Amino acid sequence: MSTQGNIDSVLTEKRVFECSGAFRSTAHIQSMADYERLYQEAETDPEKFWGGIAAELHWFKPWDKVCEWNCPWAKWFSGGEINLSYNCLDRHVATWRRNKAALIWEGETGEVQTLTYQQLLLEVSKFANVLKSLGVNKGDRVAIYMGMCPALPIAMLACARIGALHTVIFGGFSAHALVDRITDSQACLVITQDGSFRRGAEVKLKPAVDEAVPSCPSVKNVIVFQRTGTPQTMFGGRDHWWHELMAHASDECPAEPLDSEHPLYLLYTSGTTGKPKGILHTTGGYSVGTYITAKWVFDLKDEDVFWCTADLGWVTGHSYVLYGPLQNGATSLMYEGAPNFPEPDRFWRVIERHKVNVFYTAPTAIRAFMRFGAEWPLKHAMKSLRLLGTVGEPINPEAWMWYRENIGRNRCPIVDTWWQTETGMIMIAPLPGATPLKPGSATRALPGVIADVVTREGEPVPPGGGGYLVVKQPWPAMLRTIYGDPQRYVEQYWSQIPGMYFTGDGARKDEDGYFWIMGRIDDVITVSGHRLSTMEVESALVAHPKVAEAAVVARLDDFRGQAIAAFVTLKSGNAPSEELKNELRAWVAKEIGSLAKPDDVRFSDELPKTRSGKITRRLLKEIAAGGEVKGDTTTLEDLSVIARLSAQEE
Ligand code: WT7
């Protein structure tokens, strides 16, 4: 175990997987030598590097300067004029891609809808005219509260086309969360739908809008898309049916040339305080960053069907369901519903039905599939798959190996992509035709991304030591501010370690320069003066044959500062017992060392998770401490779990 740096690192994974010759021979980037060359070029002359990539997109007016950096304020491609909707649509409609599928949508009920680039451009243009007709202007904020259906990307692209900022609010949030976000953004219009299907039932959306909007005086109009057909109360003068407005709209609406720094969208993310932060992304830099990372990391080819399973309510959906793939002229698949409806093999059925080539999902989903059992994916050949990806949290090596063997059939590289709502684009990830893979590592920083692991004082930590993950140079898709709160932007991201972007994550770099993300800094546990990553203890637990999923948090301990509390779900066929508790404690002691041995082990049916699938450690900490659950719980999937766990007090 290394004790250099600030955070002790105990996880050592020795397996390395080289890319197959077959994959490499057709990849956009085919060797580590090419990667190193690109990385060097970007580091030596970032203006030339990013300028070269930006030139692959359409600009109404060229930029004067690639990057103006006045830490922490950035302007990318200043003086340039661009439109993201133009680069996603018009640019391809002028080529052979005109009749290529841009979006393929599958509803949970099984129906399929395909929109070619040309058809999508018509719908987006019509809806842009609808927005204009309701008085939406360049710079206005539009809140979108929908499920996964084609109207959602149409609405987003229509906003981008006229220079209105969209703020997509995940359809699983409550009316209360809607009020907070609409109030903070002062949105003038809400776009919603009657409901969406999930796990065979209707998720009602319009009723939440009806509950929220009376507390939101900024909202003048509500547009309602019809998906389920459930009758709605329409409020005269305020509510309009999508299909009625679209029936009369012209399908011509030229994309508005926008200043490169024109705001593109707001996306709310939770911070350490209860108040959500409106992360602001702007047009030119975000376009360039998502365009090139989608191409490189997912190795997108014109023949590919790309499926990113994220909801468009999250940044992953913004960057890699919609804007990244469409700028590349790719075919992007969207699925409306639950992964296990009607049976646990729905995702594998979707892959077979649409011959998906590149599949991008979250570790939490992969662990759920592990729990359902390998027999479900093994029913399907899934021969079309050539590349797999993960995002959202550290993936433990066991899950990585399961994904590789049972989904990729040992044939597909896995890209573990590290990034954040704030970074807008993937920052650390393998280039699948080049980078040798190590299970559990997001590998190296992408060319143009200067990331490092440093001490609290900003000093680089030598290889093997843990520390704070930072980014030392601006990048095009970086957030520009927190909407309405520039001071919080400066404090949260640029003042913790002055002059560097503070990610809030702990990490270590190994001798090969590979990054091993250890999770959020506030998930780090200090035991007897040694700081341990919760993720590393979790990985050890999950490696036990009876454990499905584990979450580890700290609780105060008079003796050692902090003690480790582990919450564990078991694979089916295993029952909780005192014996098993002791077995698991001994197991971790053996895997990592007695320092990391959990003091408490609690079993549960499920772990409490945010809507995006992240384990809610904050709540588990309160349970571990024996306290009551306080704070913002709007992001919880199932509160009853907390009650069940709390009820297990010994
Ligand atoms: C946080 C950002 C950006 C996509 C979805 C999450 C964690 C994300 C990884 C990864 C380890 C990861 C980090 C990061 N994270 N990807 N590949 N390996 N950790 O966006 O909600 O803004 O969360 O997710 O802790 O800081 P987000």
Q: Is any ligand 1 atom within 6 A of the Cβ of residue 505?
A: yes
* pLDDT exceeds cutoff 70 at 100: yes
Residue 640 confidence (pLDDT)? 63
* pLDDT exceeds cutoff 50 at 385: yes
> To test the ligand 1 pocket, which listed residue (316, 419, 428, 515) has its Cβ within 8 A of the most ligand atoms?
419
CATH of domain 86-256: 3.40.50.12780
> To test the ligand 1 pocket, which listed residue (173, 366, 390, 393) has its Cβ within 8 A of the most ligand atoms?
393
Query: How is the chain split into domains, by residue range?
Result: 21-63+261-517, 86-256, 544-647
Confidence of residue 13 (pLDDT cuts 50, 70, 90): confident
* pLDDT exceeds cutoff 60 at 649: no
Tell me, in angstroms, the distance from the centre of ligand 1 to residue 32's CA: 25
Per-residue pLDDT tens digits for 41-78: 999 999 999 999 999 999 999 999 999 999 999 999 99
Tell me, in angstroms, the distance from the centre of ligand 1 to residue 180's CA: 23
Per-residue pLDDT tens digits for 175-232: 878 998 999 999 999 999 999 999 999 999 999 999 999 999 999 999 999 999 999 9
Residue 172 confidence (pLDDT)? 83
Q: State how far the Cα of 554 lies from the Cα of 599, in Å rounded to an integer.
A: 10
Tell me, in angstroms, the distance from the centre of ligand 1 to residue 311's CA: 15
Contact 127, 356 (CB under 8 A): no
3-state secondary structure (DSSP) of residue 69 = strand
Contact 507, 515 (CB under 8 A): yes
Q: Is any ligand 1 atom within 6 A of the Cβ of residue 304?
A: no
Contacting residues for 287 by C-beta, under 8 A, at least 6 apart: 57, 82, 84, 87, 323, 327
Per-residue pLDDT tens digits for 454-506: 999 999 999 999 999 999 999 999 999 999 999 999 999 999 999 999 999 99
What DSSP letter does each residue of 507-532 carry, written as one string?
EEE-TT--EEEEEEGGGEEEETTEEE
Tell me, in angstroms, the distance from the centre of ligand 1 to residue 394's CA: 8
Q: Is any ligand 1 atom within 6 A of the Cβ of residue 442?
A: yes
Q: How many CA atoms lie within 13 A of 105 on its CB side?
A: 21
Confidence of residue 104 (pLDDT cuts 50, 70, 90): very high
Mean pLDDT, the chain, rounded, equals 91
* pLDDT exceeds cutoff 80 at 579: yes
Per-residue pLDDT tens digits for 226-235: 999 999 999 9
Per-residue pLDDT tens digits for 420-460: 999 999 999 999 999 999 999 999 999 999 999 999 999 99
| 139 Rama sector, left if φ>0, alpha if ψ -120 to 50, beta otherwise | left
DSSP 175: H
Q: Which amino acid would we find at residue 650?
A: E
Q: Is any ligand 1 atom within 6 A of the Cβ of residue 482?
A: no
* pLDDT exceeds cutoff 80 at 7: no
Per-residue pLDDT tens digits for 531-576: 577 887 888 899 999 999 999 988 877 666 678 999 999 998 998 9
Per-residue pLDDT tens digits for 633-647: 444 445 466 656 554
Q: Which amino acid would we find at residue 591?
A: E
Contact 562, 527 (CB under 8 A): yes
CATH architecture of 544-647: 2-Layer Sandwich (3.30)
Q: Is any ligand 1 atom within 6 A of the Cβ of residue 517?
A: yes
- Written out in words, the top-level CATH class of the domain with range 21-63+261-517 is alpha beta
Count, residues in the chain: 650
Maximal C-alpha separation, the chain: 72
Predicted structure pTM score? 0.86
Higher pLDDT, 325 or 270: 325
- 248-257 average pLDDT score: 98
Contacting residues for 479 by C-beta, under 8 A, at least 6 apart: 279, 280, 281, 421, 422, 423, 424, 489, 493
Per-residue pLDDT tens digits for 263-279: 999 999 866 555 678 99
Residue 608 confidence (pLDDT)? 82
Tell me, in angstroms, the distance from the centre of ligand 1 to residue 210's CA: 33
The neighbouring-strand residues paired with 33 are: none
Scan for tokens 């309405």, then name that residue: 484
Q: Is any ligand 1 atom within 6 A of the Cβ of residue 417?
A: yes
Q: State how far the Cα of 556 lies from the Cα of 546, in Å rounded to an integer.
A: 28
Higher pLDDT, 560 or 301: 301
Tell me, in angstroms, the distance from the centre of ligand 1 to residue 323's CA: 19
> In this structure, which long-range contacts are made by residues 639-646, counting pairs with CB atoms below 8 Å and at least 24 apart in sequence?
639/608, 641/604, 641/605, 641/606, 641/607, 641/608, 642/608, 644/604, 644/605, 645/567, 645/602, 645/604, 645/608, 645/620
Contact 249, 133 (CB under 8 A): yes
Contact 440, 414 (CB under 8 A): no
Higher pLDDT, 129 or 558: 129
Contact 331, 104 (CB under 8 A): yes
Contact 512, 494 (CB under 8 A): no
Confidence of residue 650 (pLDDT cuts 50, 70, 90): very low
Residue 605 confidence (pLDDT)? 83
Q: Do domains 21-63+261-517 and 86-256 have the same CATH topology?
A: yes
Q: Could you tell me what percent of the chain has a pLDDT over 90? A: 77
Q: Is any ligand 1 atom within 6 A of the Cβ of residue 391?
A: yes
The neighbouring-strand residues paired with 621 are: none
> To test the ligand 1 pocket, which listed residue (280, 420, 449, 478) has its Cβ within 8 A of the most ligand atoms?
420
Higher pLDDT, 635 or 316: 316
Per-residue pLDDT tens digits for 22-47: 999 999 999 999 999 999 999 999 99
Q: State how far the Cα of 126 lies from the Cα of 225, in Å rounded to an integer.
A: 14
Q: State how far the Cα of 64 lies from the Cα of 382, in Å rounded to an integer.
A: 48
Q: Which amino acid would we find at residue 40?
A: Q
Q: How many helices (H) and strands (E) does the chain have?
A: 22, 30
Going by alpha carbons, the residue nearest to atom 1 of ligand 1 is 420
Residue 628 confidence (pLDDT)? 52
Q: Is any ligand 1 atom within 6 A of the Cβ of residue 503?
A: yes
DSSP 98: G
Residue 9 confidence (pLDDT)? 56
* Alpha carbon 244 to its chain's center: 34
* DSSP run (H or E) holding 247: helix 242-247
> In this structure, which long-range contacts are made by residues 53-59, counting pairs with CB atoms below 8 Å and at least 24 apart in sequence?
53/288, 53/291, 53/292, 54/80, 54/284, 54/288, 54/476, 56/291, 56/292, 57/82, 57/87, 57/91, 57/287, 57/288, 57/291, 57/327, 58/82, 58/86, 58/87, 58/90, 58/91
The neighbouring-strand residues paired with 191 are: 144, 223
* DSSP run (H or E) holding 52: helix 46-54
For residue 386, give the nearest of 121, 17, 23 by alpha carbon.
23
